[in-house]
Structure 1
């Protein structure tokens, strides 16, 4: 479904953020990327969603080269990105945020049905649909950010640190929701520092260090690596 082939990404002239990165996400999978802050995980997601343009290499989605095309066109192709820190529109209501997620779709009946589905998956958002989004709790804001992305009817959902700043009970809830979204047919690529949780729901995983992939395999293979246990799993 998604193939990244030897991309190199720079910030400015001197910061080489991604170095010959190659990875693959197959249809129906949950794939996770783990690694320390600054390892390049967010840069990979931004490169996929058109927010960064690789200096070299290619990104292919459903057999089409999408390298460097504008972000709005990436969304049209079926890729939606939930950024780190949620990036909701705090001064707008929950309902308005969700409606923005479907701004490319002119089929009002389809949008209405997706709104219903989002509210069924996130009942707290329905309870707060007319509330200013900036007044939501951190967990509710994460649900809103995910719901807004789902309004775009993604075939591939990119999630950047979905558990960041959340209480442990909410972390479990968010990962349960990610698993449900995947079970219902959406492919997921998730960046996450909570390696234990991420590996518990993923099919495959990549480990990044300083802009390079240093390990990849099934989630079980990566979780059983002694280096990963020591660095990320407290082993």
Structure 2
């Protein structure tokens, strides 16, 4: 579904992403793990066209993305849940969710998908009329995920969904990610919580200072001694 081939990305003169290649197959959860500053967020921004690679190719369903604008990614079937949630603070929960469906015309199915989001996140249904800026951090994360799902994406890019959340909420968010996968949505997950990410992923890539240093089956990486020492506190 998604192929990244030999991309290089710069911030001014800083070489942030160095000849990175990987793929995400339909139906998978693929995790990108690595320390803070490794380049994980930069890769997601490059995939969703918020940044441009200086070299390399990104293919989505075999279509090169080089000439497309960020808003066109949604039309192709890609949605990005950004780091820091980025909800529309002055709009209500319900308005935020409908904003996620702005490209869609199928009103009946939009309502069904809204109900599905509320099934995933019952707390959002209790707060439909509440301004998003007044929600807790965990509730804003739920809203950001729900808003992305309202575009009915084939591929969901998720950037640090557990950041700043209490342990119980972290587990809840990861349980929902598994439910989203079961519904048929492919997920590329960027996450500092390597333990949780590897537990729910099919495959994973380890990013260090802009380079992929390891890749493989997520369960095998979870039991790898070097991964345990570097990322799992083992």
- Alignment map for 1:10-21 (pairs within 5 Å): 10-12=10-12, 14-21=13-20
Residues 150-174 of structure 1: CA distance to partner in whole angstroms, max 9, x if unpaired? 0010000000000000000000000
Structure 2 equivalent of residue 120 of structure 1:
119
SS in 2 for 1:181: helix
Asked if the contact 1:54–1:68 (Cα under 8 Å) also holds between the matched residues in 2, the reply is no
- Alignment map for 1:1-235 (pairs within 5 Å): 1-12=1-12, 14-67=13-66, 69-235=68-234
How far apart in 1 are the matches of 2:172 and 2:67? Answer: 35
Extract structure 1 runs of 4+ deviating beyond 3 A: none
Residues 111-164 of structure 1: CA distance to partner in whole angstroms, max 9, x if unpaired? 122112111221110110000111111111100000000001000000000000
Asked if the contact 1:50–1:68 (Cα under 8 Å) also holds between the matched residues in 2, the reply is no
Asked if the contact 1:53–1:68 (Cα under 8 Å) also holds between the matched residues in 2, the reply is no
Pairwise CA RMSD: 0.8
SS in 2 for 1:96: helix
5+ residue gaps in structure 1? Answer: none
How far apart in 1 are the matches of 2:48 and 2:219? Answer: 28
Residues 17-43 of structure 1: CA distance to partner in whole angstroms, max 9, x if unpaired? 100000000110000011011101001
1:69 deviates by 1.7
1:50 deviates by 0.8
Mean Cα displacement is larger for which, 35-44 or 223-232? 223-232
